Amino acid sequence: MNGAVLVALGAVVGAPLRYLTDRAVQARHDSVFPWGTFAVNVVGSLALGLVAGAVLAGAASAQLQLLVGTGFCGALTTYSTFSYETLRLAESGARWYAAANVGASLLAGLGAVYAGTGLAGLLF
């Protein structure tokens, strides 16, 4: 199947899932911290690490990486929303939350992708 079609198919699932997950997570927290965006970015990083690790181990195809890694994870995660929400926090005077969002997102995202690749190494 064409690579662009695989990416689009993955994005068709990832984008609405991002929106629904963000709303569901944020509705459970009475805080200005963007928990929904944080959650989808960490879960997406874990999934991308797992898929990339599986591809590197020869247990998954390049087509799966396009479908899940580029399409699904690319649409599920959102750097632009993370950036915008961080800016809005800083502009509204919630500078501690803005700094916490940057630090926690970087640490958790990197930790999740590392854990995903490590898990793939154990599984495959």
Q: Tell me the per-residue pLDDT of 42-95, one tens digit each, with 9 for 90 and over.
A: 999 999 999 999 999 999 999 999 999 999 999 999 999 999 999 999 999 999
Q: What are phi and psi of 117, to 5 degrees?
A: -70, -40
pLDDT surpasses 90 at 8: yes
Is the pTM value of this prediction over 0.85?
Answer: yes
User: In the prediction, which pLDDT does 1 show?
Assistant: 86
Domain count, the chain: 1
Q: Mean pLDDT, the chain, as a whole number?
A: 97
Phi, psi (5° rounding) for residue 93?
95, 0
Tokens for 74? 């690319």
What is the residue range of 62's domain? 3-123
Contact 2, 63 (CB under 8 A): no
